[in-house]
Every structure is written in C-alpha cells, then in structure tokens.
Structure 1
Amino acid sequence: MKYSLCIGAYPDKDILYHLEKVKEHGFHGLEYYGWEQLDVDIVAKEQERIGVGIIATCTRYFNLVDSSKREEYLQGLKETIDACDKLGTKSIITQTGNVIENVPREVQQQAMVETLKQCAFLCEEAGVTLEVEPLNGLVDHKGHFIQYSDEAVSIIDQVGSPNVRLVFDVYHQQITEGNVIRNATNYKDRISHYHIADNPGRKQPGTGELNYVNILRSIKEAGFDGYVGLECGYTIDTDIALNEFKKNILQKVELPGVEVSR
C-alpha cells in the first residue's frame, strides 16, 4: 500500500511545503482538492523537482443526483481531467450532493448512474479514475445522498466501468454503519482509495476508537495496493504525529516502503 498526506496537514502552509513534507516523511503523494486554485504548470515543475506529486484532487462540482446539473458537472470534470493530465494525477474524487426533497430516491440514483456512465467514457479515454465518496450524515454532512457502502457499490456496479470506483473513508463509514473491516475488505474490488482518520474528532489514527493496526492489516491482506490518505486533523505537532503514526501503527502493520522515522 501507498500513503498520502492531505492538504491542510500543515495549517497555513502552501502546497510546496506539503510536498516537501510528503517527501521528508517517506510518503508517496499529496491529496490537493481544489486544483483550480493552483497554477498547474508551475506545480507540475515543482513536483518533478521534489520527486512526489498530487495523487488525487476533486471535481469542480459536487452534484450527481440532479440531472439538470449534468452538463455543468461534465464540463467541470473535463476541466479537472485537463488539469490532471498536466499534474500526472490519476484520481479524481467526487461527492454526490445532497438529497433533493420531494424527488424519489430511485430517480436520484438513476440520475447518478446516467451521469457516471458519461463520466466513465471521459475517464477511460484519459486514463484517470473517478472516485465516488460516501459521507456520513450524522456528524459532518447532513443530507448527503450517498452514505452507505452497499448503496454506493450498487451504483458503481450499475455504471460498470473500471474507471468509476469508490473512496472508502473509514471515519465516515464508522459513523454511518460501523462494520468497517468487513465492508472495507468485501468491497475492495470497487474501492480505488481509502481515507483514514479516527473517531470521534477526525484526528490522526490512534486518538480514538478505531483499531488502525487491525484495519490496515486487513486491507493489506485483502490485496489492496493503492493509496491510503490521512485525511485528518492533528492533536499535536504534525511531524510528531506522523512519526508516531509510522512507529505505532505502520510498523505493526509491517508495511514495506514507508520510513518509520527520520
């Protein structure tokens, strides 16, 4: 497995600072969600200099359930794909938007499927993966349409493209449904990418109720070899927290390729 940091890990620091820290800690990439805020040509050159880059970004718009927004969504995806081509980024994360009141759920599901099928064609041509992310509606994202793993997998299966898959965010799914290891491994063939943070609080692994040694070991043993992103806040200095994460969790998971300390 490979590990990524997320923008904001070092508050008030820019993307280049984050990329340097990714390299310093022996991680494999950075998730930067608002690509449109960047001069992508300059960042592409800096990535080459530093030796690590942006491995995931987000679509411009988050609305898959409203068919009237489809053309706007697809245009934003095309622009995102163009940026990814310059940056060498292979993953594009999308959320679904909130439930539309007074519209049957199955109608909104079908709108998602139809939009994602059109996205699939664009992504297959470009060699990128669009990753749908379920979010919890109890604490952080009230009203978000896709919250449960099984419904998300059902929609992905209807789209039927290897370039449209899921982000499985352990923090969100712990809040929404629990049963984390079973879902995180049973659905591994539809999952492109994992996010991790502890619960409650969404801080670094090791600060809450989730046993990340067991979770990550199970994901590894299931054969996953993609990215795991630390999408979390930090209760202590970020560098200290990352070194503790590597020593107390990754070392016990026995993952090769990640430096435990500096």
Structure 2
Amino acid sequence: MERRAFIKKSAAAASVTGISMSGINAMAQPYKAANSQADFKMKFAPHLGMFKNHAGNDPIDQINFMADQGFTAFEDNGMMKKDIALQTKIGETLAKRNMTMGVFVIQKGGNLNNSLAAGKQEYIDIFLNGCKKAVDVAKRVNAKWLTVVPGGYQRKLPIGVQDANVIEALRRGAEILEPHGLTMVLEPLSDSPDLYLQRSDQTYMICKAVNSPSCKILFDIYHLQKTEGHLIRNIDLTWDEIAYFQIGDNPGRKEPTTGEINYKNIFKHIQNKGFKGVLGMEHGNSIKGKAGELAVISAYKETSNF
C-alpha cells in the first residue's frame, strides 16, 4: 500500500480510537530494526496472532517481527499443545533474538471439571502429570513460569477444606517443578463465579501456605480490576509473592489506553518497585488489521514513556 493511501485509511481509524494524525504519521514510517529494544522499559510479551497481519501466519516470523519492534519477551498459553519440533524451533528463535520466554499454561491442570479444590485423587493425578510434562516443554523453550488455574469452586465443601485441598495439590506440584527452577504462577480469574480462585489476597494466602519458590502469583491486571479494583494497593499488599503480570484494559480486554485502567501509572509503579520480570500482553487488538497492530505498539510506547 502506498504511504498516502495508508495515511488516509489510518486517519479513519484514528477518528475512532483517538490516535492523533502525528501518531499515524509516525506509525507510517518504516520500522526500526531489533536495536529499537530500548523503546520499551519493561519486558512486554506479545503472543502469537497479535501481529499476524504484518508478519504472516508462521510463528517464527511473528516472533521475529516482535523482536524487530523492540519487544524482549514472548508468551504462549498453548505451548504444550504444539508439536515438539515447533517448540524446539521457538526456543531457538527466542534465544537467537535474546527474548525471554513468558508463561505457558500447564494443560489439564485444574479447570471447572477437574478442580483441585475437590481433593479428588484423579484430579490431582491429572495436575501432577501435567507438571511433569511441562518440565520437558519448559526446557525446549527456556521457560521459567507456568500458569496454573486451580479450577472450579466446590459448593458442597466448606471453603477451608477447599483451601486445604488446593494447597496440598500445589505443594506436590511444587515438588516436581522446584528441582528444575520452574515456578507455577497462580492466576485468579474473573471469567465465572464458579471459579475457586478469584482474588489477589486469596492467592497470596495460598502461596504463603504452599511456601515454595515454585508457587507464586500471576497478577492479571485485567481480571483483578474486574473482581476487586484498588490495583496499586493490592499489588503492594501481595508484592512479595508476585512473579508475573498480565495486561488487558477494561472493559473490552484490549490494549492499554482503550479502557479505564491507568496503565502508565501502574507500569511506573511496578518498575519503581524493582520488577524485572515479564508482563504478558494477554489481550486482543481493539482495531482489526495492520492499523490495529500498529495501535497496539503505539499504546505500549505511550504507556511506558515515563
């Protein structure tokens, strides 16, 4: 597409999103190479599909595009479902581009159907087998953090019994992961009232009870804005157990600047506290196509400019 046509088309998108014409002109310029990594002060981690209109469908091309735009991390919830050859190639590409691998999800490790809160041995075995398989996947992609969702709330069991069941299962999972330097990060979610784990203080209590460096908090800013708010206060209260952040604005679960969350203040607060880890970009794009992908990059440059 010619530059003039691009600017005309992008201007229409700008009228919807509030992006200035100066921002559109900047986005129309050729991208800098991988030495643009200094643009981002933090390890923001995109996922596959976020930039497919620019990079194409090939996962390796997408990762290289992320690196070229200055992103220094990457996450993939579905990594365990990929074949071994692709896992290996992703790991090699990340190493070559000096990118940090973020989270992937331990498959079948606690959901509404096989909840760890139930305390049933068959569910615990599924979770522990998932931990064992995750160790090999983590080695291939050089991952350090693995997402765990304990599963559904058990209405027929007292909450204290559910807490004990979850803690015991996670202790056993930590025994598998700890020798390999891996950390499962527990993610409280807002998706359903039937989920057991929904609040940061609850997750903090569980991590303290498990008492292992292999069991920490995944503080998903989008989910926790929905369930409890007071984001900076709750980040401070649970800080010593937080190992990972994920990002998404609310409402809509799109990139920062599209909703009500003041991400510039949150990013500045997290960095000032000394966080050196990964912040996963677990959200969609607010605008379709290439213009939407450019808007995502622009949003992260804007909110990390402090």
Q: TM-score, normalised to structure 1's length?
A: 0.89
Q: 2:117 aligns with which of 25, 42, 65?
A: 65
2:5 aligned partner: none
Alignment of 1:35-74 (within 5 A): 35-49=79-93, 50-51=96-97, 52=99, 54-63=101-110, 64-68=116-120, 69-74=123-128
In the alignment, the residues of structure 2 paired with residue 8 and residue 204 of structure 1 have an alpha-carbon distance, to the nearest angstrom, of 14
2:302 aligned partner: 248
Listed one character per residue, the Cα deviations across residues 160-214 of structure 1 (whole Å, up to 9, x for unaligned) are: 0111101000111111000001112331210110011110010100001010010
1:196 has 2:196 as partner:
no
Alignment of 1:167-178 (within 5 A): 167-178=218-229
In the alignment, the residues of structure 2 paired with residue 8 and residue 107 of structure 1 have an alpha-carbon distance, to the nearest angstrom, of 41
Q: Detail structure 1 runs of 4+ shifted over 3 Å in the superposition.
A: 10-14
Q: 1:4 aligns with which of 45, 57, 64?
A: 45
Q: 1:128 aligns with which of 141, 164, 182?
A: 182
In 2 relative to 1, CA 25–142 (structure 1 residues): closer, same or farther, beyond 3 Å?
farther
In 2 relative to 1, CA 105–7 (structure 1 residues): closer, same or farther, beyond 3 Å?
farther
Alignment of 1:101-140 (within 5 A): 101-136=155-190, 140=191
1:87 aligned partner: 141
Q: Partner amino acid for 1:217?
A: K
Unmatched segments (≥5 aa) in structure 1: 253-262
Alignment of 1:225-240 (within 5 A): 225-236=276-287, 237-240=291-294
Listed one character per residue, the Cα deviations across residues 112-131 of structure 1 (whole Å, up to 9, x for unaligned) are: 10011111111111111100
Q: What is the aligned-residue RMSD (CA, Å)?
A: 1.8
- CA-CA distance at 1:76 after TM superposition: 1.1
1:259 aligned partner: none
1:153 has 2:204 as partner:
yes
- CA-CA distance at 1:239 after TM superposition: 2.9
In the alignment, the residues of structure 1 paired with residue 131 and residue 216 of structure 2 have an alpha-carbon distance, to the nearest angstrom, of 15
Secondary structure at the aligned position of 2:103 is classed as: strand
- CA-CA distance at 1:72 after TM superposition: 1.3
2:71 aligned partner: 27
1:255 aligned partner: none
116-125 or 60-69, which deviates more: 60-69
In the alignment, the residues of structure 2 paired with residue 124 and residue 46 of structure 1 have an alpha-carbon distance, to the nearest angstrom, of 24
- CA-CA distance at 1:244 after TM superposition: 1.2
In the alignment, the residues of structure 2 paired with residue 75 and residue 243 of structure 1 have an alpha-carbon distance, to the nearest angstrom, of 38
In the alignment, the residues of structure 1 paired with residue 69 and residue 195 of structure 2 have an alpha-carbon distance, to the nearest angstrom, of 34
In the alignment, the residues of structure 2 paired with residue 185 and residue 21 of structure 1 have an alpha-carbon distance, to the nearest angstrom, of 34
In the alignment, the residues of structure 1 paired with residue 203 and residue 90 of structure 2 have an alpha-carbon distance, to the nearest angstrom, of 36
Q: Give the % identical residues.
A: 31
Q: TM-score, normalised to structure 2's length?
A: 0.77
- CA-CA distance at 1:48 after TM superposition: 2.3
1:75 has 2:129 as partner:
yes
Contact 1:9-1:238 within 8 A present in 2 as well: no
- CA-CA distance at 1:14 after TM superposition: 4.5
In the alignment, the residues of structure 2 paired with residue 187 and residue 158 of structure 1 have an alpha-carbon distance, to the nearest angstrom, of 14
Secondary structure at the aligned position of 1:6 is classed as: coil
- CA-CA distance at 1:159 after TM superposition: 0.4
Larger Rg: 2
199-208 or 30-39, which deviates more: 30-39
- CA-CA distance at 1:25 after TM superposition: 1.7
37-46 or 167-176, which deviates more: 37-46
- CA-CA distance at 1:246 after TM superposition: 3.2
In 2 relative to 1, CA 195–46 (structure 1 residues): closer, same or farther, beyond 3 Å?
closer
Secondary structure at the aligned position of 1:78 is classed as: helix
1:213 has 2:264 as partner:
yes
Between Structure 1 and Structure 2, the one with more helix by share is 2
In the alignment, the residues of structure 1 paired with residue 65 and residue 142 of structure 2 have an alpha-carbon distance, to the nearest angstrom, of 19
The number of residues matched between the two structures is: 249
